[in-house]
Amino acid sequence: MPELEPIYSPDLLTGLNEQQSAAVLFRGPALLIVAGAGSGKTRVLTHRIAHLLANREAWPSQILAITFTNKAANEMRERLRHLVGDAEGMWIRTFHSACLQILRREADRLGHNSNFTVYDTGDTRALIKRLINASGHDINDLKPASVASQISKAKNELQTPDDFASNIDSKNPKARAVAEIFADYEREKRRNNAFDFDDLLAETVFLFRAFPEVAANYQRKFRHILVDEYQDTNHAQYALIRELTKPIAAAHAVVDERTGEILPPASLTVVGDSDQSIYAFRGADIRNIAEFSKDFRGAQTILLEQNYRSTQPILSAANAVISKNFDRPEKNLWTQKTEGEQIVAYTGVDERHEAAFIVDQIQEHHKAGTAYSQMAILYRTNALTPAIEAELKSQRVPYAVIGGLKFYERKEIKDALAYLTAISNSRDDEALRRIINEPGRGIGEKTELKIAQFARSNEMSFREALAYGGDLGLGPKLTDAIKTFSDLLDTAEVLSHSAKISDVLIEVLARSGYKYQLELSRDPQDEARVENLDALVGQIIEFEIRNPEAKLADYLAEITLAASADEIDDESGQVSLMTLHTAKGLEYPVVFIAGLEQGTLPHMRSFDEVGGIAEERRLFYVGITRAMVQLYLTSALQRTLFGQVNSTMPSNFLSDIPPELIDQRGNARQSYTARESLSSGGDYGLKRPVRERTIWKDALTQVRNNEGLVLAKGDRVKHTDFGEGIVVNTTGEGARQTAEIRFERVGNKRLLVKVAPIEKL
């Protein structure tokens, strides 16, 4: 093994605390590191890997480190470069990219060739929509997104179409239809030489189970496996780890078949925190981490509680919130940063006042020297963003909605990538059918359907059928258009074998006329589309510089595997807006958590789900622990969602935070959900919101105060924004009276009479 000289840490333990050092030095078959938020888990993982290498206990190629995002993998890779000088040879990858690499090597065993396409969510839904239409089922009855979700869930449970069909209610026609479409979907993907995102995991597990000799090869290859965010693993991911670590779980030695030598002891290290398990809706199973010691004999657990991210007031609030959950390992985050600002809790009159407060505070922090990129606004649901975005625009604060319309989801980008996909994988019918009339060639849906039927009848791909355009009786103009399109793809495919990926795209965009048509347009949106295509070419060039040996299929796979959190550019100079789920793994000096109201956080659905409230509390805990210096918790007295104006009540979770940690601003209020009204513990102590029992402490002073105004059914009123209307119903009394009003311009709205900008006519 070549000499490895750590660059800045001679013994690789400098700067680590006692528990971190214990995790780095541990030698045994299995280790669970329970890492609290901000406790330096990435540092521990990288130092553990470096220690194995520096002490000649492993070759770089024997290391497999698995993360959940490309951003986390890149960070780990960069840290290892600083520690050992060279991270080449190690597999530091996401679950999906590791499986992709394995499937590229072994695809022929599963009946695919190595040039297969990976379908993203949009590709999957488009194919399912086409299959629903072809099946004769009502697309309004079978939503493509819903069917895709059911198929995805089944695959994450490692169910085949036959397994799925055997577990449904055979008397339910919709369930039977989904089972049929699932089977058709799998056949179409195989015909297209394609996998979807979920297949990358499931098919790798099936590969290992069907071909034990292949599994044994990878078990011998990866002697030390490290898994980050283990609490977020679903059944397929869990099964994958189990397949790779069978010798470790069985606690027996592995023999090198070539030399007959017993290989050095292997190990599995997983890092996670059950308090941050927030992806049950994606199939994440918290039992995977809770039962780790049962799965691996001799496993040990090391607890990391010292936090290096946040101030103590923030951590004290987080500890108080999460302590209300049952069935969790006792853990108490602490920091040496004992001083810190109080948490600011603000209650606005409505979402506009809440948004104004948030943006005002952002501007204050910015004036004091905090960059916009160091601030984030988090929320439970995207439905809360319109008012916040409007205020940000009004005050000209630059911002980016993470997880909104992503660069690679724009039409022109998906069209360009579809061209590249069709060139890379000639069997991918979906890519071809997306671009067959982009730009317009006069090839409409009827012609496309004829080509597809011809292909199916003659057991050939859609691409092969293009060569028989003259046999379809389409007339000379359409036949010529099809031939021109087919020739373009053939030429580009030949070019792709020797030219750079960027040159192939430039050639295709030019020869197809796609870019030229956009450049001819006077529409500003088309001008932006041209700029986006130029940006895509630039990104491909950057990819080529980083990966000089990569093929077109490698580039397309990397794009498909990109995650929302990977899009965040810390140097962008923009405030980040994102859901609490997306914020997992990130940190910001200043954090705002908006919409802290019953029914929003915790979400209304959680009241009816087993363990739902506990997971919502974990989600709030994750949000709190994103903040490093200053945390704001905001809510509104009334909120307009989906066209309805409703009075709100504060989130029960707010009452979990000790009052001495809170700097209350705005319109303070107190709810019946005070501590004494909660039974001790978990999901059982939280009740559905009961609006009538909310008690207002202070009069509202920031907007119109309709003191003494009482409305009755039939009264006519005038609203500042909605115009004139008539009261159709009222509930509550005094300060709690709400009125449902039918406005002539905007329809029915429900308003809190005391604060609404209305007057009686």
pLDDT score of 567: 53
| Helix (H), strand (E) at residue 165 | helix 161-166
Helix crossing, 173-191 with 144-156: angle to 10°? 80
Cα dihedral sign, 143-144-146-147:
positive
Please state the rounded mean pLDDT for residues 151-155: 93
Beta bridge partners of 639: 646
CA distance 484 to 512: 9
H or E element in which residue 365 lies:
helix 351-367
CA dist., res. 613 & res. 620, Å (int): 11
Contact by Cβ (8 Å): 563, 612: no
pLDDT band of 701, cuts 50, 70, 90 = very low
Of the pLDDT bands very low, low, confident and very high (cuts 50, 70, 90), residue 1 is very low
Mind listing the pLDDT tens digit for each residue in 342-358?
999 999 988 889 999 99
Least confident of 177-191, 503-517, 716-730: 716-730
3-state SS assignment for residue 593:
strand
Residue 48, pLDDT score: 93
With 80 as the cut, is the pLDDT of residue 732 above it? no
Catalytic site positions: 41-42, 228-229, 276, 626
The larger pLDDT score, comparing residue 14 to residue 180, is at 180
Reduce the DSSP state of residue 153 to 3 states and report it.
helix
Residue 263 binned pLDDT confidence (cut-offs 50, 70, 90): low
Is the pTM of the predicted complex or chain greater than 0.75?
A: no
Q: Which of 695, 679, 696 is nearest to 687 (CA)?
A: 679
Amino acid (1-letter code) at residue 185: Y
Residue 9 has pLDDT above 70, yes or no: no
Phi, psi for residue 267 in degrees, rounded to 5: -150, 155
Question: Percent of the chain scored above 70 by pLDDT?
Answer: 86
Residue 47 has pLDDT above 90, yes or no: yes
**Measured distance CA(337)–CA(330) in Å, rounded:** 22
Length of the chain: 761
573: left (phi over 0), alpha (psi -120 to 50) or beta: left
| Residue 693 and residue 669 in contact, taking contact as beta carbons nearer than 8 Å | no
Q: Token digits for 716?
A: 């006519």
C-alpha 567/C-alpha 402 separation (Å) is 7
Q: Could you give the CA distance from residue 551 to residue 273 in angstroms, rounded to a whole number? A: 38
Q: Can you give the pLDDT at residue 709?
A: 86
Q: What is the mean pLDDT of the chain?
A: 83
**In the prediction, which pLDDT does 687 show?**
36
Q: What is the pLDDT of residue 186?
A: 95
